[in-house]
Amino acid sequence: MAKTENLLAATEFLTNYIGNEEVQTELYEVGNRPPANKAAFEAAKSDEIIAAFGEVGANGVPMPNIPEMAAVWEFWGVAEAEIITGKADPAKRWEQMTEDIEKAISK
């Protein structure tokens, strides 16, 4: 919402439309994504996968909104692709990714 030309309209849309229980339930049913709305989540958590997202999220920490995160995602994405496609040993590639991120952030 930081780049919207109409903050009031964007806030209204997210808060009173996208965030309501009915829309969140529909989004869950269409995309099988855990609802952010608490009432919609309670109804959807009979699905064990959705319930597991809730358990993990209960102890979650928000991602920092800082420029350094760009370095994290850049190295993470490349490492993830190499691991998934079998181009790299997962343990070694993860260690290299960690070192690359630490170097990039410390600059």
- Read off the pLDDT of residues 2-36 as tens digits, 9 standing for 90 and up: 788 899 999 999 989 999 999 999 999 999 889 99
d(CA 75, CA 104): 9
Residue corresponding to tokens 């009915």: 22
pTM of this prediction?
0.56
Is the pLDDT at 98 greater than 70? The verdict is yes
Among 34, 77, 40, CA closest to 57 = 34
Task: Decide if 100 contacts 73 (C-beta within 8 A).
Answer: no
Over residues 97-105, mean pLDDT: 94
Residue 1 pLDDT level (bands cut at 50, 70, 90):
low
In contact, 105 and 71? CB cutoff 8 Å: yes
